[in-house]
Amino acid sequence: MTLRLHTIKPAKGSTKKRKRVGRGNASGHGTYSGRGLKGQKSRSGGKNGLKRLGMKTTLLNIPKKRGFKSQKPKNQAVNLADINKYFEDGATINLQTLLKAGLINTIKLPVKILRKGDLKLKNVKFEGVKMSGSVKNQIN
């Protein structure tokens, strides 16, 4: 058999006949036509399964995630002990120098200096970084 336009058929099992409702009891979908007995959904013009409409339905259908996730970025923490290790006296400490020293991962997120250890360096200048209260007290 040669392949021609009039000989092409779909693959076996790939197509399915549609359900023909209300064509007599012999079809298996006669009498009530798959609508059950009485009630609003059995009648013509009945609402679509009595769906609720509007915002309340939408809210009820959305899965709820509990808790709260802040949109503010988290600070990258740098300790004073690390600053003593990687910097020298009179150094300017900003996002670029911290990144170069490998103490932070990215310049895009904010940085906060925390007091773990004491600052042993002199004349250190901090630019564009946040500081905890105890660090501010130690610098001044």
pLDDT, greater one: 48 or 111: 111
6: its two tokens: 């009039």
Domains of the chain: 76-139 (3.100.10.10)
Distances (CA, A) of 34 to 13, 40, 71, 108: 25, 14, 51, 61
pLDDT of residue 25: 93
Residue 132's SS3 state is coil
CA 49/CA 52 separation, integer angstroms: 9
State the pTM of this model.
0.51
- List pLDDT tens digits, range 29-67: 999 998 889 888 788 876 665 566 678 888 888 888 888
